[in-house]
Structure 1
């Protein structure tokens, strides 16, 4: 295992069916002014809103609300939320929802006490916050992004059609606490559940497919991927299977809390490609990732052949006897494709509204990254997009 690194994750997790009972204890650590942040209203229908608001009221908190946070939070929504948090003099931002609500709350957190334009500062120049942050807490209702235990935030500029993520270096951006109750995820439509499942899996892949050393992180990743595969099949068969949904929730958190990235260069090009498509179309994040993943991995496979062969053997149980590395690796990606179809993810960008005439613009909105087995040129980015249609 190569490299030097520091690992610190200050997010406190409360997991299980009774986990919301701990919210009152956490609220005692913050001032009276709480901004409750949530999405399109599903938490009102399933009763989570009432439970959270009751605890806030019993704790004597003065509550303001930012509602209507969309699946791909926009810059205009961010600016509106900043103003609400400023007017309320927020002491805590309480995000109740999925990864988009958590992402959004972190973007509000770093912007409330900063006079600079948040888009330019954080999502164009990728600067770190220099102002006082407003603490964030999360009550998670959808799994996939891992935003509940990391410092990442993704915002879409609806005018330029750019969807850009910033993983902040400061651990202070991470949520101070997160409530993880698997029951809260069971009211999601199957489409959203499956999109989240693939998001989990791809987060692990993008850290796994980098480096050539014997790395402890890769062994952890293989176990997490096997868990996702097993639990996804059980959850698709029975969405009310608590064991499967709880395992998916726990795996999602560990897939992107930065632990398995340690000692790795990491390769986030699938996210760059998927976010470019998502920013342009507004399509569901996990589905954009699914649509571009196999064309990308098949393209870079020759450059990281040994790891792809290991992936086939250790994750998909491909028998290596009598086969070349190329054959083993190809069988692994074929097994991955079969699983993706089995659980019902979107396999083509055309199903999400992308057409041939958009590819040049999508390439212009795709940020090329180093860290993987092959750095893509603009022409190669267009090629991968075309093969994803």
Structure 2
């Protein structure tokens, strides 16, 4: 491994079917005022809401609800959450939901006591936090983002057609996260499959960078093989606990900062996908799947050795008698076949993208230079066009 780095992850995880009971252990560490953040009401239909509220009541907490967090949390919703947190002197934000809910909770945690416009400070100027941070805890009901064990918080501004993620430091990481795989069983199939690809994309964004013999790459290959295997099972049997528990654990390790160590990382698929999301409000994982194949075929010649390795070590391509280019391409062919098997979106038009949007989407895509080749504006437009094929 090349380079120097430090590593710390302060989030405490509780994993398994009985994990929610550990909320009793965590709640006494915080003050009486708890802001309960959740989405569109699925946690009420599933009964998770009642379980959480019961534990909060038992702990003597004052509950201030902030429901209605959308799949792509908006800056307007962020301002609303900040108001609720300030007016009620919130001591803990408890996010119950998927990655968007957890992201939103972290955004509110750093923004509620910010004396400036948090969108300007944290999402446009990308400044560090220098004000009071409200602690966050998570009860996860959907896997994919890894938000339960990292400092990421993505917010969408529809007015400016920008969807931006700020990866905050360890002081913003959730203090604890509760991961019960059974809580993910009732998720609609489309959202479940999108989450599976979000996990895969997180790993690939970090894997396709660097040329050294890096331990992180070996870890990621193992995570990918486990994900491919378990996602196939879960797609056929959504309530298979073993498969869903494996996927939940993979999702956490895919983006809790561990496998990024010693890596430059790419993230261009996410940058393009997020820009699409700003225009269409499409499901995040599907924005990633729809542009991935075009992007990876674009950068493959510049990172050929890694793409060959990916084909052999992840997709079991036999390299004997084949050129490196042929082996690498066969790996992408097998990946694409797998994506179609799961039912992922492979054409950005299915997400509402039109030809007229392409230039704006490219303009709203933040260029990252950690991968094998950073595309310019015109090349991003070509990648988008190829994603319409």
TM-score by length of 1: 0.99
1:115 Cα offset (Å):
1.1
Q: How does 1:148-159 map to 2 (within 5 A)?
A: 148-159=148-159
Q: Deviations over 1:318-364 (max 9, x none)?
A: 00000000000000000000000001100010000001111011111
Q: Deviations over 1:145-167 (max 9, x none)?
A: 00000000000002112100011
Corresponding residue of 1:331: 330
User: C-alpha separation between the residues in 2 aligned to 1:161 and 1:183?
Assistant: 36
SS at match of 1:323: coil
- Residue 272 (structure 2) pairs with residue 276 (structure 1): no
User: C-alpha separation between the residues in 2 aligned to 1:357 and 1:67?
Assistant: 35
SS at match of 1:100: helix
Corresponding residue of 1:7: 7
User: C-alpha separation between the residues in 1 aligned to 2:367 and 2:322?
Assistant: 34
- Residue 146 (structure 2) pairs with residue 143 (structure 1): no
SS at match of 1:261: coil
User: C-alpha separation between the residues in 2 aligned to 1:121 and 1:348?
Assistant: 35
Q: Deviations over 1:257-285 (max 9, x none)?
A: 00000000000000000000011100000
User: C-alpha separation between the residues in 1 aligned to 2:387 and 2:276?
Assistant: 11
SS at match of 1:69: coil
Corresponding residue of 2:258: 259
User: C-alpha separation between the residues in 1 aligned to 2:153 and 2:361?
Assistant: 21
Gaps of 5+ in 2: none
Q: Deviations over 1:97-120 (max 9, x none)?
A: 000000000000001111110100
Q: Deviations over 1:55-102 (max 9, x none)?
A: 000000011010000000000000000000001101000000000000
Corresponding residue of 1:320: 319
Gaps of 5+ in 1: none
User: C-alpha separation between the residues in 1 aligned to 2:149 and 2:41?
Assistant: 24
Q: How does 1:232-251 map to 2 (within 5 A)?
A: 232-251=231-250
Corresponding residue of 2:346: 347
Corresponding residue of 1:173: 172
User: C-alpha separation between the residues in 1 aligned to 2:291 and 2:278?
Assistant: 14
Corresponding residue of 2:215: 216
Q: Deviations over 1:211-242 (max 9, x none)?
A: 00000000000000001100000000100110
User: C-alpha separation between the residues in 2 aligned to 1:309 and 1:273?
Assistant: 24
Runs of at least 4 residues of structure 1 off by over 4 A? none
SS at match of 2:14: strand
SS at match of 1:28: helix
User: C-alpha separation between the residues in 1 aligned to 2:156 and 2:355?
Assistant: 22
Corresponding residue of 2:16: 16
User: C-alpha separation between the residues in 1 aligned to 2:121 and 2:330?
Assistant: 44
SS at match of 1:64: strand
User: C-alpha separation between the residues in 2 aligned to 1:363 and 1:20?
Assistant: 43
Q: Deviations over 1:245-303 (max 9, x none)?
A: 00000000000000000000000000000000011100000000000000000000000
User: C-alpha separation between the residues in 2 aligned to 1:36 and 1:231?
Assistant: 32
Root-mean-square deviation over aligned CA pairs: 0.4
1:375 Cα offset (Å):
1.1
Q: Deviations over 1:29-61 (max 9, x none)?
A: 000000000000000000000000000000000
- Residue 206 (structure 2) pairs with residue 207 (structure 1): yes
Corresponding residue of 2:123: 123
- How many pairs are equivalent? 388
User: C-alpha separation between the residues in 1 aligned to 2:236 and 2:252?
Assistant: 23
SS at match of 1:4: coil
